[in-house]
Structure 1
Amino acid sequence: MPSLTCGIDEAGRGPVIGPMVICLVSCSPGQLKELEALAVKDSKALSPSARETLFPEIKKVALVETRMITADELNRRMGGENLNTIEMKTMAELIDRVRVNGERAVYIDSPDPKPLRCASRVLSYCAGKNVKIIAAHKADAKYPVVSAASICAKVQRDSEIEKIKKEIGIDFNSGYPSDQMTIDFLTKHMDDANLRKYIRWKWKTLRNVRQKQKTLGEF
Structure 2
Amino acid sequence: MEEGLRSFSERNNRNITIASQVPDVCRNEACALGIDEAGRGPVLGPMVYGITYCPESRAQELKAIGCADSKTLTEEQREKLFEKLDSLGDFVGWAVEVISPNSICNSMFKRLKHSLNEVSHDSAIGLIRKALSLEANITSVFVDTVGPPEKYQAKLSALFPGIKITVSKKADSLFPVVSAASICAKVARDKALSSWQFKESPFVDLKDSEEMKWGSGYPGDPTTKKFLAKNIDPVFGFPQLVRFSWSTSEQILKTKGVSVEWEDTEEQENQAVSVKKFFVNSGKTNTPRRHPYFADRRLKPATKLV
Indicate the TM-score class for this superposition, using the shorter chain for normalisation.
0.7 to 0.9
Unaligned runs of at least 5 residues, structure 1: 215-219
RMSD of aligned residue pairs (Cα, Å): 2.3
- Bigger fraction of residues in helix: 1
- Residue 112 of structure 2 is aligned to residue 82 of structure 1: no
Unaligned runs of at least 5 residues, structure 2: 1-28, 207-211, 258-306
Contact 1:12 1:21 (C-alpha < 8 Å) held by counterparts: yes
Amino acid at match of 2:116: L
- Residue 104 of structure 2 is aligned to residue 104 of structure 1: no
Contact 2:33 2:138 (C-alpha < 8 Å) held by counterparts: no
Amino acid at match of 2:214: F
Q: Does the C-alpha gap of structure 1 residues 94 and 103 become closer, same or farther in structure 2, counting only changes over 3 Å?
A: closer
Once structures 1 and 2 are overlaid, which stretch shifts more, 9-18 or 95-104?
95-104
Aligned pairs for 1:156-171 within 5 A = 156-164=188-196, 169=206, 170-171=212-213
- Distance in 1 of aligned mates of 2:156 and 2:117: 10
Q: TM-score, normalised by structure 2?
A: 0.63
SS at match of 2:146: coil
- Residue 217 of structure 2 is aligned to residue 175 of structure 1: yes
Q: Match for residue 84 of structure 2? A: 57
SS at match of 2:220: coil
Q: TM-score, normalised by structure 1?
A: 0.86
- Residue 60 of structure 2 is aligned to residue 24 of structure 1: no
- Distance in 1 of aligned mates of 2:100 and 2:217: 13
Q: Does the C-alpha gap of structure 1 residues 129 and 60 become closer, same or farther in structure 2, counting only changes over 3 Å?
A: farther
**Higher RCO (C-alpha 8 Å, min separation 6):** 1
- Distance in 2 of aligned mates of 1:14 and 1:162: 18
Amino acid at match of 2:104: L
Paired-residue identity, %: 32
- Distance in 1 of aligned mates of 2:233 and 2:48: 25
Q: Does the C-alpha gap of structure 1 residues 171 and 48 become closer, same or farther in structure 2, counting only changes over 3 Å?
A: same
CA drift at 1:190: 2.6
SS at match of 1:98: helix
Contact 2:52 2:178 (C-alpha < 8 Å) held by counterparts: yes
Aligned pair count reads 210
Q: Does the C-alpha gap of structure 1 residues 184 and 103 become closer, same or farther in structure 2, counting only changes over 3 Å?
A: closer
- Distance in 1 of aligned mates of 2:154 and 2:184: 25
Once structures 1 and 2 are overlaid, which stretch shifts more, 100-109 or 149-158?
100-109
SS at match of 1:7: strand
- Distance in 1 of aligned mates of 2:162 and 2:78: 32
- Residue 185 of structure 2 is aligned to residue 185 of structure 1: no
- Distance in 2 of aligned mates of 1:185 and 1:103: 43
SS at match of 1:196: coil
Aligned pairs for 1:84-163 within 5 A = 84-99=117-132, 100=135, 104-112=139-147, 114-124=148-158, 126=159, 128-163=160-195
Contact 1:12 1:20 (C-alpha < 8 Å) held by counterparts: yes
| Cα offsets for 1:46-75 (capped at 9, x unmatched) | 111101110111123311111010001111
Q: Does the C-alpha gap of structure 1 residues 93 and 123 become closer, same or farther in structure 2, counting only changes over 3 Å?
A: farther
| Cα offsets for 1:88-112 (capped at 9, x unmatched) | 1110100011225855211111011
Q: Does the C-alpha gap of structure 1 residues 135 and 182 become closer, same or farther in structure 2, counting only changes over 3 Å?
A: same
CA drift at 1:210: 3.6
CA drift at 1:171: 1.8
Aligned pairs for 1:39-58 within 5 A = 39-58=66-85
Q: Match for residue 98 of structure 2? A: 68
- Distance in 2 of aligned mates of 1:101 and 1:17: 34
